[in-house]
Structure 1
């Protein structure tokens, strides 16, 4: 098994926010980016899970342009 850290983007922060701590606490978990169209939800969830501003998106297409992300988890 590899020790590579996997960076994931999550689109949809209703039920999708439940996956953030799973990715953050996984032994191979890396960066977690989040995306929702609602700026207030984006701020609240980002603050709750200490997601850096640079990994918070209101535009899905902007998030998927992030070449650091290895996978996109769509929960919307």
Structure 2
């Protein structure tokens, strides 16, 4: 077993911080930065949009609710 450097709880936190900071530097360094469409945030947004489209495809058209229409109707009634 590896020796404890700082403490049992602080060592994992330092490791996580180091990893997140290293990834931040990787994405923002002008020499090594990936293109905008290949950055983590863009890829996560793409994946969520794809998952939402697949979920909407599973729901029949007659059961889908247009929330914007419902909000407009509710605001007119007030």
- Bin of the TM-score, shorter chain as denominator length: under 0.3
TM-score by length of 1: 0.19
TM-score by length of 2: 0.19
> Which of the pair has the greater relative contact order for Cα pairs under 8 Å at 6+ separation?
1
Higher helix share: 2
Higher strand share: 1
